[in-house]
Amino acid sequence: MSVAGPSDIPMDTNRFHLLRALRRGRGERGQAIIETAMVLPLLVILVLIFVACGKAVFYYIDLTHAANEGAREAAVNLPNATTPLPGGDTSLKTYICKQFGTGSELYKGSGTVSSAKVTISYPDAGKRAVGEPVNIDVSTNYSWFPFMNLGTFTIHGSATMRVEQDTSANTSLNPGSATCT
Protein backbone atom coordinates (compact mmCIF):
# COMPACT_ATOMS: atom_id res chain seq x y z
CA MET A 1 0.00 0.00 0.00
CA SER A 2 1.40 3.36 -0.98
CA VAL A 3 0.80 6.73 0.58
CA ALA A 4 -0.42 9.50 -1.68
CA GLY A 5 2.14 12.33 -2.14
CA PRO A 6 1.52 16.02 -2.77
CA SER A 7 1.60 15.57 -6.50
CA ASP A 8 -1.11 12.88 -6.36
CA ILE A 9 -3.67 15.20 -4.75
CA PRO A 10 -5.56 17.18 -7.36
CA MET A 11 -5.43 20.94 -6.65
CA ASP A 12 -6.88 23.86 -8.47
CA THR A 13 -4.00 25.86 -10.00
CA ASN A 14 -5.46 29.26 -9.19
CA ARG A 15 -6.00 28.28 -5.60
CA PHE A 16 -2.45 26.96 -5.40
CA HIS A 17 -0.98 30.27 -6.63
CA LEU A 18 -3.18 32.24 -4.24
CA LEU A 19 -2.10 30.21 -1.22
CA ARG A 20 1.54 30.51 -2.25
CA ALA A 21 1.25 34.31 -2.54
CA LEU A 22 -0.44 34.54 0.87
CA ARG A 23 2.27 32.43 2.50
CA ARG A 24 5.02 34.56 0.95
CA GLY A 25 3.63 37.94 2.17
CA ARG A 26 2.16 36.81 5.48
CA GLY A 27 5.28 37.48 7.60
CA GLU A 28 6.05 40.95 6.22
CA ARG A 29 2.62 42.54 6.21
CA GLY A 30 2.77 45.94 8.04
CA GLN A 31 6.51 45.77 8.58
CA ALA A 32 7.21 49.18 7.02
CA ILE A 33 4.59 50.87 9.21
CA ILE A 34 6.04 49.32 12.37
CA GLU A 35 9.60 50.33 11.41
CA THR A 36 8.48 53.90 10.66
CA ALA A 37 6.60 54.08 13.97
CA MET A 38 9.77 53.00 15.79
CA VAL A 39 12.18 55.38 14.03
CA LEU A 40 9.98 58.50 13.63
CA PRO A 41 10.05 59.62 17.31
CA LEU A 42 13.86 59.43 17.32
CA LEU A 43 14.05 61.52 14.15
CA VAL A 44 11.64 64.13 15.56
CA ILE A 45 13.70 64.40 18.78
CA LEU A 46 16.89 64.77 16.74
CA VAL A 47 15.37 67.57 14.64
CA LEU A 48 14.16 69.37 17.80
CA ILE A 49 17.66 69.16 19.30
CA PHE A 50 19.20 70.63 16.13
CA VAL A 51 16.67 73.49 16.13
CA ALA A 52 17.31 74.24 19.82
CA CYS A 53 21.10 74.25 19.29
CA GLY A 54 20.71 76.52 16.26
CA LYS A 55 18.63 79.00 18.27
CA ALA A 56 21.21 79.00 21.08
CA VAL A 57 24.01 79.75 18.61
CA PHE A 58 21.91 82.51 17.01
CA TYR A 59 21.32 84.13 20.41
CA TYR A 60 25.05 83.92 21.22
CA ILE A 61 25.94 85.65 17.95
CA ASP A 62 23.27 88.32 18.51
CA LEU A 63 24.46 88.99 22.08
CA THR A 64 28.10 89.21 21.00
CA HIS A 65 27.22 91.61 18.18
CA ALA A 66 25.32 93.91 20.55
CA ALA A 67 28.21 93.85 23.04
CA ASN A 68 30.66 94.78 20.28
CA GLU A 69 28.44 97.66 19.15
CA GLY A 70 28.20 98.99 22.71
CA ALA A 71 31.92 98.64 23.41
CA ARG A 72 32.78 100.47 20.19
CA GLU A 73 30.43 103.34 21.04
CA ALA A 74 31.88 103.59 24.56
CA ALA A 75 35.49 103.45 23.36
CA VAL A 76 35.35 105.85 20.42
CA ASN A 77 32.28 108.01 20.05
CA LEU A 78 31.20 109.34 23.46
CA PRO A 79 33.67 111.79 25.06
CA ASN A 80 30.99 113.76 26.99
CA ALA A 81 27.35 113.66 27.97
CA THR A 82 26.33 116.06 25.17
CA THR A 83 27.49 113.68 22.45
CA PRO A 84 24.34 111.92 21.25
CA LEU A 85 24.12 108.18 20.88
CA PRO A 86 22.89 106.88 17.52
CA GLY A 87 19.12 106.82 17.52
CA GLY A 88 18.91 109.50 20.21
CA ASP A 89 19.26 107.13 23.17
CA THR A 90 20.21 108.67 26.51
CA SER A 91 22.19 105.73 27.90
CA LEU A 92 24.51 103.12 26.45
CA LYS A 93 22.48 100.34 28.08
CA THR A 94 19.35 101.44 26.20
CA TYR A 95 21.32 101.72 22.96
CA ILE A 96 22.64 98.17 23.33
CA CYS A 97 19.16 96.82 24.08
CA LYS A 98 17.78 98.47 20.94
CA GLN A 99 20.41 96.61 18.88
CA PHE A 100 18.18 93.53 19.19
CA GLY A 101 15.10 95.34 17.87
CA THR A 102 12.23 96.30 20.14
CA GLY A 103 10.10 93.39 18.96
CA SER A 104 12.71 90.66 19.37
CA GLU A 105 12.78 87.88 21.95
CA LEU A 106 16.03 89.17 23.41
CA TYR A 107 14.43 92.58 23.99
CA LYS A 108 11.03 91.51 25.35
CA GLY A 109 11.73 87.96 26.51
CA SER A 110 9.69 84.85 25.70
CA GLY A 111 9.11 81.32 26.93
CA THR A 112 12.43 80.23 25.46
CA VAL A 113 14.68 83.15 26.38
CA SER A 114 14.64 85.92 29.01
CA SER A 115 15.17 89.61 28.29
CA ALA A 116 18.83 90.41 27.81
CA LYS A 117 20.81 91.91 30.68
CA VAL A 118 23.44 94.53 29.79
CA THR A 119 26.39 95.17 32.13
CA ILE A 120 28.95 97.96 31.65
CA SER A 121 32.14 97.77 33.69
CA TYR A 122 35.60 99.28 33.84
CA PRO A 123 37.91 96.49 35.05
CA ASP A 124 40.83 98.73 36.09
CA ALA A 125 39.34 100.13 39.31
CA GLY A 126 36.64 102.02 37.43
CA LYS A 127 39.07 104.26 35.55
CA ARG A 128 37.66 105.71 32.35
CA ALA A 129 40.78 107.49 31.06
CA VAL A 130 42.41 107.00 27.66
CA GLY A 131 43.83 103.50 27.28
CA GLU A 132 41.71 101.93 30.03
CA PRO A 133 39.42 99.03 29.10
CA VAL A 134 35.65 99.15 28.96
CA ASN A 135 33.90 95.80 29.22
CA ILE A 136 30.37 95.19 27.94
CA ASP A 137 28.66 91.93 28.90
CA VAL A 138 25.24 91.01 27.52
CA SER A 139 23.59 87.84 28.81
CA THR A 140 20.30 85.95 28.72
CA ASN A 141 18.86 82.74 30.15
CA TYR A 142 17.96 80.17 27.49
CA SER A 143 15.66 77.19 28.02
CA TRP A 144 16.26 74.22 25.71
CA PHE A 145 12.70 72.95 25.71
CA PRO A 146 10.42 75.25 27.74
CA PHE A 147 7.36 73.02 27.26
CA MET A 148 9.21 70.16 29.00
CA ASN A 149 10.99 72.29 31.68
CA LEU A 150 14.37 70.91 30.65
CA GLY A 151 17.74 72.58 31.27
CA THR A 152 18.15 76.33 31.35
CA PHE A 153 21.55 77.91 30.90
CA THR A 154 23.02 81.38 30.51
CA ILE A 155 24.38 82.63 27.20
CA HIS A 156 26.93 85.47 27.38
CA GLY A 157 28.20 87.81 24.71
CA SER A 158 30.94 90.19 25.74
CA ALA A 159 33.41 92.67 24.31
CA THR A 160 36.33 94.61 25.76
CA MET A 161 37.89 97.64 24.07
CA ARG A 162 40.32 100.36 25.08
CA VAL A 163 38.87 103.82 25.66
CA GLU A 164 40.26 106.24 23.06
CA GLN A 165 38.91 109.44 24.67
CA ASP A 166 38.48 110.42 28.31
CA THR A 167 34.83 109.57 29.05
CA SER A 168 34.78 110.22 32.80
CA ALA A 169 32.38 113.17 32.32
CA ASN A 170 29.84 111.14 30.34
CA THR A 171 27.08 109.88 32.66
CA SER A 172 25.50 107.73 29.95
CA LEU A 173 28.54 105.41 30.22
CA ASN A 174 28.34 104.86 33.97
CA PRO A 175 29.05 101.28 35.07
CA GLY A 176 26.17 99.12 36.11
CA SER A 177 23.63 96.76 34.66
CA ALA A 178 20.12 96.95 33.25
CA THR A 179 17.63 94.52 31.79
CA CYS A 180 16.09 95.19 28.39
CA THR A 181 12.34 95.76 28.52
**Which residue range(s) make up the domain with 170?**
36-179
pLDDT at 127: 79
| 60 membership: H or E segment, kind and range | helix 31-72
In-domain check, residue 42: yes
In-domain check, residue 46: yes
Which of 1-10, 72-81, 149-158, 171-180 has the lowest average pLDDT?
1-10
What DSSP line would sit under 98-147, residue for residue? HTT-TTSHHHH--SSBPPPEEEEE-TTTT--STT-EEEEEEEEEEES-GG
What is the pTM assigned to this prediction?
0.76
Number of domains in the chain: 1
Which of 87-91, 116-120, 173-177 has the lowest average pLDDT?
87-91
What is the spatial distance between Cα 108 and Cα 103, in angstroms, rounded to a whole number?
A: 7
For the CA atoms of 101, 148, 144, 37, what is the dihedral angle to 10 degrees?
A: -110
In-domain check, residue 23: no
pLDDT at 157: 96
pLDDT interval class at 31 (50, 70, 90): confident
pLDDT at 105: 92
In-domain check, residue 110: yes
Examine the pLDDT at 19 and tell me if it is beyond 80: no
Mind listing the pLDDT tens digit for each residue in 125-157?
777 888 899 999 999 999 987 777 777 899 999
In-domain check, residue 129: yes
Q: What is the mean pLDDT of residues 80-99?
A: 84
CB 178 within 8 Å of CB 117:
yes
What is the length of the chain?
A: 181
